[in-house]
Structures are given as structure tokens and as C-alpha cells.
Amino acid sequence: MGGGPTRQIHDMRRRQFLGTAGVGSTLTALAALAPQLAQAHPSSARRPSSATATAREMVRRAGMGVRHAAGLGVPKRLVLIPMLNGTPKGTFWPEGGGAWPMVSAPLEPFKSKIQFVQGLDQFETHDHIAIRTMFTGAKVLDYSLPLDMEVASVDQILGSHFMDADPTRRRSIHLSACPADHILRYKLQGRATFYFTETEAVDYFANPANAFDSYFPKTDGGDDSDLIELRKRVLAITEAELGDLRAVLGDSELELAKLGTHAASIDVLQAATDAGGGTCDGGPIPTVEAIRSRIGASEEKAYNQAHYSDLIDAQLDIIVRALACGLTRVATMQWNSADGNVGVPIAGGARPHHDTSHGNLVQFAECQRWYAEKVARLLTALDAEIDPLDPSGTATLLDNTCVVWMAECNPDHGSWDIPMLYAGGWGGALATGSTSKFDFEGATNRHFLKTLCNVAGVPKSASAQFGDDDLPELVGSRA
């Protein structure tokens, strides 16, 4: 467990950064902005029992997660969302028991289910490249270099852990909205990659229609034993051909690694084939169908910023569906890219996100508040669903989920004391309802990621990349 002395070096570095930020004059103006009432609705707006019954039926049809329902405890779920470019000072952390400030205000209705985590730095990484540190805990020096430690992000670690205990059809799902300024910049230089397997950045859907079709396919005769056998034998041919190539490849590490990636991908497909053809048959999702009607199946059109808000809504709705029906326990969202300039539709017109973070900080706070409203939208949806897998029958999906909203840096590019919170408490295993301040030297996102792993029961060896120390203050009474 970490803790201990003051962190003079930490504070000095932060002062150096803030001293050059030129934000002071803007803070006065920010203070004058009155927070608006949130649009979100807390758990009092839960859906009636018929919806829960529907969700249970979806789970039953999917044939997934039944072991939890059989009494294996609270099914933990995880949603990771980046908060890009941080927040202007004075706009995020609740102070003194008053109304929450401008950016976090939309989340205040979930006050009892939110924990602010204050004082953490991104581990030995600065600036926007910390998008690759946020969820991996890796020290990242460079956009284009691969992660040198072969570390996966926490979504992959927890996803694998959850699957080991209670298989789901997918280890994790990955959604995005305008994740780059053009599809030709998909995964560019690591600027548009936040989540990683041990070997590469995960792929992500920019078009909700394609995500929906892929994650919730129509059943296709998957119970036909001959068909399943044929599928396996087709995959076996691919595996054999990979073996042929491996044999002639010699010692080219790069090419062998590519074949290894391919072979591992076939393994995953094989496992899915073994699992059968279950789906989450909950019918169409209105927001998804709305965007489908405008852009069809085009991934390229999904990079059109004109649809940004609707893309986000649809992707968040897919996350809720996938978590509710037991398709997966882990989802990530990726909106915009680290230093992207997607126009955020605030009052007065869309503002380019990154440029605004270095320009008008009042407007930037409005941008970040807009994102908070989207987070609130997700929380509302999660809190409106009774968790069909929870033995208690009363907990909501949000209660059993941990939605992490974390920044990679602040507008001054400093990755110290990053804005961060989580919502939902894994059924009480994580503390909620207050602000935890960590002022010991070296308190970083690693401590938080380690906490998640420890609370989830991940073996120490599987979370060694996060170090040894966690944050006991964040452990809930039901851990």
C-alpha cells in the first residue's frame, strides 16, 4: 500500500506547469458561470420490472452468465471512458459540500454512486501521449513506439479475468465516436489508440450500426452440429496454413509475430465457435437505427463530425445493451483522439476540442461539461436497469459496474493531479459517495488500476504491471 511523505517534487513539477499555463485570468470568468441543472436521472427512474424480465430473458437466450445467476456473487462490469485534455481549474472537483462545479455538475444526481479520485498523476508520462498510460499504467515516451513492456490495458486484464470465472461471448467490446479526424488516420501513430492487448492496440468500431451488427448478430443455425464441426474444420485449415508459413519464415521476428497474432485470432474465433451461437436478441436500438438511416454501414461516414453527438449516444446504448444481456463484462469508449479537434456542439456552435483547450477556457469547460452530460446519460441508462445477473434482484447495472472517467492530462499538458472519477461501485466492493484525496508522493493511475484488479480478485501476477500498491481508501465495505 502506498502512502507516506509529502510530495514536494510532485508539487514543484505541477507548479512549474501551471506557472506557464496562463490560465489564471480565465478562472475568474469561470467562477462566474453558474452550473446548470443536470439532465440526468438517478436510480429513482429505474425501469419497471418488465424491463428486468426482458433483460433476464436476453441473458437466458444468450446462454451466458448463468453461473453468476446461480450464486457466484455480484457480476462486476467495467466501462472505461477517457476525459481528453482534462478540465480547467476549479471546474471539476466538488468543494466544501456545495453544488458541484461546472464540468461535474451533470453528474451530481449520481452523487452517492460516484467517487472522485483526486491527486493521481499519470505514471511517468506527460501530455496527450498519456492516453496510452491511462489504462495500461505504462510509461510511454512516444506516440509511435510500441509499448515496450507488452502490457495490456486494464480492460483486457479484467476482461480476461472475468471470462475465466464466468465465460461471456466476448472478453470486451470497444466503441468509438469520431476517433480520428479521418478514417485514414485509424490508429494513427498511437494518437487514436487507448486500449491494448499485449501485442497491439485493440480495434474499435466507429459506426454503431456495424458494432450492433457485429455484437448482436442474428442467429444463424448455430445449433447444427454438422455446421459447427465444419466451421471448426475450416478454422483448422487456416491454422494449418499458418503453420506452413511459419515453417518457411525462418527467424523473422516481425513476421512471426504477425503470424502469431493471426493464430491467436483464430483461437478466439475457435472459442466463439465452441461457445455456440447465442446472441443478445433485444431487438433494434433506436439510436443505432437512427444513425444507420443516415450513414448506413460506412465506417468512413462515421468520422463525419456532424453526427458526433448521435454517434456517442448510439455507442453508449450499445454498451448498456451488451452489459445488460451478458455479452461481455467490459466495454470501452473512445471519443475523439488525444489531441483531436472534433467539434464539440456547445451553445454558440461547435468548438474544436483541443484548440479550445488552449484558447478560451470558459468554452473549454463547456465542452467538458457536454461530455459530462454524455457520461450522465450512460449512468442514467445503467441505473435504470435492474441487473439481471445480480442474485439480490434489486441492484442496478450501475451498482455493479465501475464506469471510469479519467483524463490523460490537463489543459496545460501536465499529467499531474488529473481529473478523474468513477461511478458505480461493483456492488459495494468499491467505495462511492465521496472524494478521496491522495497526496503521497508518487500516487499515480497505477495505484488506481491496481485497486481495480485487487478488488476484482485478479491474481497479483496478472496485474504486476501496476506495481504492488493499491489505494485501500477506495475499497468498499463489501469487497
Partner 1 sequence: MMKQYPTRSWSLRLFCLPLMAVIGGSTACGDDGLGETGDDGLEQSSSQDGSGSADDDDTPGSGSGDEQSSEDGGSQDDDGDSSGGDGGFDPCSDDDADAPGPRMLRRLTAAEFEATIRDVFELDPGDWAGPTMPPDPAAANGFTNNAEQLKATESYVERLNATAATIAEQVVQPERLSELLPCSASGGDESCGEAYLDTVGRRLFRRPLSSAEKTRYLDLWDLATAGDKGLAGWVRHATIALIQSPHTINRSELGEGSGDSFELTGYEIATALAYGYSGRPPSEALLDRAASGELADADVRREVARDLVFGGRSKPGTEYRDVFMAFARQYLGIPRVGNLIKGDPEFDEAVRASMIREAELVVADVVFEGGGGAHELLAGRETFVDGVLSDYYGFGDVSGGDFERVERPAELGSGLMALGGLMASTATTDSTSPTQRGAFVRLKLLCSELERPAEVPELPDPKEFDTTRERYEYHVSEPECAACHKMLDPIGFSFEHIDAAGRFRMLENGHEIDASATILATSRGDVDVDGAAEMSDLLAELPETSYCLAAYLASYSFGLDHKAARCLVDGAASGFAEDGQSMIDYHLALTAAPHFVRRSR
Within 128-187, the residues that bind partner 1 by CB under 8 A are 128-129, 140-146, 178, 180-187
Query: In the set 63, 352, 391, 476, which binds partner 1 (CB under 8 A)?
Result: 352
Largest CA distance in the chain: 71
Assess contact for 170 and 465: CB atoms under 8 A: no
- 359 contacts partner 1 (rule: CB under 8 A): yes
First to last CA, the chain: 16
**110 or 364: CB nearest partner 1:** 364
Helix, strand, coil percentages for the chain (3-state, nearest 5): 45, 10, 45
Q: Which of 6, 39, 214, 434 binds partner 1 (CB under 8 A)?
A: 214
- Size of the residue set binding partner 1 (CB under 8 A): 90
Q: CA 108, CA 113: separation in Å to the nearest integer? A: 9
The C-alpha atoms of residue 74 and residue 456 are separated, in whole angstroms, by 10
Q: Which residue number, 99 or 269, has a Cβ lying nearer to partner 1?
A: 269
DSSP class of residue 219?
P
CB of 35 to partner 1, least distance (A): 26
Q: In the bound complex, what is the minimum distance in angstroms from residue 74's beta carbon to partner 1? A: 28
Say if residues 158 and 135 touch (Cβ distance below 8 Å): no
67 versus 294: smaller Cβ distance to partner 1: 294
| Cβ-based nearer residue to partner 1, 83 or 192 | 192
Q: Which of residues 16-35 bind partner 1 (CB under 8 A)?
A: 20-22
251-290 binders of partner 1 (CB under 8 A) = 251-252, 254-255, 258-259, 261-262, 264-266, 268-269, 272
- Closest to partner 1 by CB, 46 vs 128, is 128
**Based on CB atoms, which residue is closest to partner 1, 129 or 443?**
129
Q: Minimum distance from CB of 279 to partner 1 (Å)?
A: 13
Which C-beta is closer to partner 1: that of 18 or that of 51? 18
DSSP state of 342: P
Residue indicated by cell numbers 469520431: 178
Show the beta-strand stretches assigned E in 67-160: 77-83, 114-118
Compute the least distance from the CB of residue 439 to partner 1, in Å: 23
Measured from the CB of residue 398, what is the shortest distance to partner 1 in angstroms?
Answer: 28
3-state SS, residue 158:
helix
Residue 171's DSSP bridge partners are: none
Site string for partner 1, 219-258 (x = CB under 8 A): -------x--xx--xx--xx-xxx-xx--xxxxx-xx--x
The residue (of 305 and 454) whose beta carbon lies closer to partner 1 is 305
CA 69 to chain centre: 25
Query: Shortest distance, CB of residue 233 to partner 1, whole angstroms?
Result: 6
DSSP-assigned letters across all residues of 297-329: T-TTGGG-GGGHHHHHHHHHHHHHHHHHHTS-S
Q: Which amino acid, residue 252?
A: S
Contact pick of 93, 123, 204, 364 for partner 1 (by CB under 8 A) = 204
Determine if 14 is a binding residue for partner 1 (CB under 8 A).
no
Choose the binding region for partner 1 from 29-37, 326-334, 340-348, 419-427 (rule: CB under 8 A).
340-348
Going through 84-225 in order, the beta strands assigned E by DSSP cover 114-118, 173-177
Q: Where in 365-404 is the site for partner 1 (CB under 8 A)?
A: none
Q: Please spell the DSSP secondary structure of 236-252, one letter per residue.
A: HHHHHHHHHHHHHHTT-
Residues 450-479 that bind partner 1 (CB under 8 A): none
Q: Minimum distance between the CB of residue 152 and partner 1, rounded to whole angstroms?
A: 13
Residues 6+ away with beta carbon under 8 Å from 89: 18, 23, 27
Vertex 168 angle, CA 165 and 170, to 5° = 125
Using CB under 8 A, which residues numbered 49 to 108 contact partner 1? none
Least distance in angstroms from the C-beta of 170 to partner 1:
10
Residue 350 near partner 1 by CB under 8 A: yes
Rg (CA), the chain: 22
Q: Which stretches of 333-391 are DSSP H helices?
A: 353-357, 361-383
| For partner 1, the closer CB: 114 or 129 | 129
For residue 47, the 8-state DSSP code is P
